[in-house]
Amino acid sequence: MGRLRVIGWQALSLAALAVAWQAAGHWGWVDPLFVPTPSQVASALAGTAGEALPRLGETLLKTLLGYGLAVLLGVSAGLLIGSRRMLNDVAMPYVVALYGIPKILILPWIALIFGLGFNTAVLTATLFAVFPILLMVAAGTRDVDPVLITAAVSMGATRWQVGHKVLLPAVLPSVLAGMRIGMVFAMLGVLLAEMFAGNRGMGFLMQRLAVAFKAPELFAATAIVSVLSIAVVLFLEHLNHRLGRWR
């Protein structure tokens, strides 16, 4: 199936969904107090954008800072743990156990220590994103064929050359996959922190709209955040393809 045909079917399915949604609201099949129609959301979007866009910038800044820390820590720790058998055997059970703890349980402690606001949101984003990145990078490092490393060393490659020419290209798909997942988790962490332990940002705005039962504005704010998240993930996907050629 050609690319244009796929895009056409996707657009048609979205249009059909919007029509069905509008009809359900028009005929009273859903309560507009909780599920507004697309036309109501579109109308609210114009009024919400002025307040939402500056808050979206704040949320994006916190997300990028937390995400950057998570990538730095996750990739470094993943390479270290994955490349050393003893360290992997000792540390990985603790990493998996920490990953299994619902991070929302730790949010009150972060807020208690660092207060409400910017720092709590950044640290929550880091906490949400670091473990998926670490686990994927460690798994990718463990799966590198040792024959490749042995062959490079036998040909006189230095440790830096082995890492740059052999290990990095082999682990790159795992790094990029972890980065894509980590970005989604980082934004989730920031939004949750802003909703429950913040006083600014999109999460705070969405929580305020929900309490006020402003469903059209809430749906509009959700759409704005969703578009941003999709755009960032698509950018990382594009980066994956570009770096895949280098690999």
Indicate if the pLDDT at residue 110 is higher than 70.
yes
Question: Which residue would you say has higher pLDDT here, 152 or 112?
Answer: 112
Q: Is the residue at 78 inside a domain? A: yes
Indicate if the pLDDT at residue 172 is higher than 90.
no
Question: In total, how many domains does the chain have?
Answer: 1
Confidence of residue 63 (pLDDT cuts 50, 70, 90): very high
Q: Is the residue at 21 inside a domain? A: no
Note the pLDDT of residue 72: 95
Note the pLDDT of residue 245: 61
Q: Is the residue at 46 inside a domain? A: no
Q: Is the residue at 6 inside a domain? A: no
The 3-state secondary structure of the chain, one letter per residue: CCHHHHHHHHHHHHHHHHHHHHHHHHCCCCCCCCCCCHHHHHHHHHHHHHHHHHHHHHHHHHHHHHHHHHHHHHHHHHHHHHHCHHHHHHHHHHHHHHHHCCHHHCHHHHHHHHCCCHHHHHHHHHHHHHHHHHHHHHHHHHCCCHHHHHHHHHCCCCHHHHHHHHHHHHHHHHHHHHHHHHHHHHHHHHHHHHHHHCCCHHHHHHHHHHHCCCHHHHHHHHHHHHHHHHHHHHHHHHHHHHHHHHC
Q: Is the residue at 152 inside a domain? A: yes
Note the pLDDT of residue 131: 94
Q: Is the residue at 211 inside a domain? A: yes
For range 185-192, the mean pLDDT: 93
Q: Is the pTM of this model over 0.85?
A: no
pLDDT tens-place string over residues 120-144? 999 999 999 999 999 999 988 888 7
pLDDT tens-place string over residues 211-243? 888 888 998 999 889 888 888 888 888 877 776
Indicate if the pLDDT at residue 89 is higher than 60.
yes
Residue 61 belongs to what domain range? 52-246
CATH number for 218? 1.10.3720.10
Q: Is the residue at 42 inside a domain? A: no
Q: Is the residue at 43 inside a domain? A: no
Chain mean pLDDT for the chain:
85
